[in-house]
Amino acid sequence: MPDRATFKGEHWKNYVTANKEFAKCTIRALRQLPRNNTESQLIWVHDYHLMLTSNWIRKYADDEGMPCKLGFFLHIPFPPWGDIFRLFPWSHEIYHGKCEMVGFHVTDYCLNFVDCCQRKLGCRLDRKNLLVEHGDRTVRVRPLPIGIPLERFVELAEQAPRVISTNQKIILGVDRLDYIKGLVHRLLAFEKLMEKVSLLQIAVPSRTDVKEYQELKEEMDQLASRNNGWFTTPNWSPIRYIYGSLSQDE
């Protein structure tokens, strides 16, 4: 993803403003709760859109004497130090967060995060227990994988009618059409597997009014058509590409 990164001061300024607004909304919600100075409210902040929000929530809450505990969960991978954050001009503002706990999908992302904290801020670390000493607090870093209701999908698979008759193995992909999903890379890689397996790729429409996503759809359409044009036989097409949403039963 580094090839898609652009660092513009105006964009960052707008990002900071948006995070401040979310923080102010959170503080307004806290004011509506019964005041109990002996009990801290737990606030969870989610995803890369709001990576600065906890900083401002902490500041505003401290100014008004409202105790709270802050957690943050990132819904995307956290990259290694050398990939992105070493290049990011405002990384120090992200690392100076005010959370008691930070969560990621898997342990590797946690280790990437603590490594960045050490390299950028010189924080003391406990890698075994995933603890980071930052200022006057110890931040817990935790892998919190998000799963699926496995039994439900097994049941659906067992009850589903057979819709594709073939002895070949089929790879199924169901993804939101988003460049962070690596769909273009998947189709390019799949060219190397042609005539061995079939790919059934379902791309769920996403942000259809955004130019970059429109261009992504066009590129996906062209790649699927190109690969099928090269390798299709009278009885077989390597890629079945569906642009649309399907229910769980489907």
What domains does the chain contain, in order, with CATH numbers? 2-143 (3.40.50.2000), 150-243 (3.40.50.2000)
Phi, psi dihedrals of residue 230, rounded to the nearest 5°: -75, -40
Neighbours of 104 (CB within 10 A): 24
In order of 72, 174, 202, 250, the CA distances from 247 in angstroms are 31, 11, 12, 5
Q: What is the pLDDT of residue 52?
A: 95
Q: What is the pLDDT of residue 14?
A: 96
CA 152 to chain centre: 24
Q: What is the pLDDT of residue 70?
A: 95
pTM summary value: 0.69
DSSP-based three-state secondary structure for 181: helix
Q: What is the pLDDT of residue 73?
A: 97
What string of pLDDT tens digits covers the 250 residues of the chain? 667 778 899 999 999 999 999 999 999 999 988 776 557 889 999 999 999 999 999 999 999 888 899 999 999 889 888 777 788 888 888 888 789 999 999 999 999 999 999 988 888 999 999 999 988 889 999 999 988 888 998 898 888 887 777 777 778 888 988 887 889 988 888 777 766 678 889 999 999 999 989 999 999 999 999 888 887 877 778 888 889 988 877 7
In the DSSP assignment, the letter for residue 238 is S
- The token pair at 41 is 């409210």
Q: What is the pLDDT of residue 106?
A: 95
Q: Which helix (H) or strand (E) holds 11?
A: helix 9-31
Q: What is the pLDDT of residue 111?
A: 94
| Start-to-end C-alpha separation, the chain | 32
Q: What is the pLDDT of residue 195?
A: 62
Bridge partners (DSSP) listed for residue 137: 134
In the DSSP assignment, the letter for residue 84 is I
Radius of gyration of the chain, Cα coordinates, nearest whole angstrom: 23
- Triad 73, 106, 174: Cα angle to 5°: 90
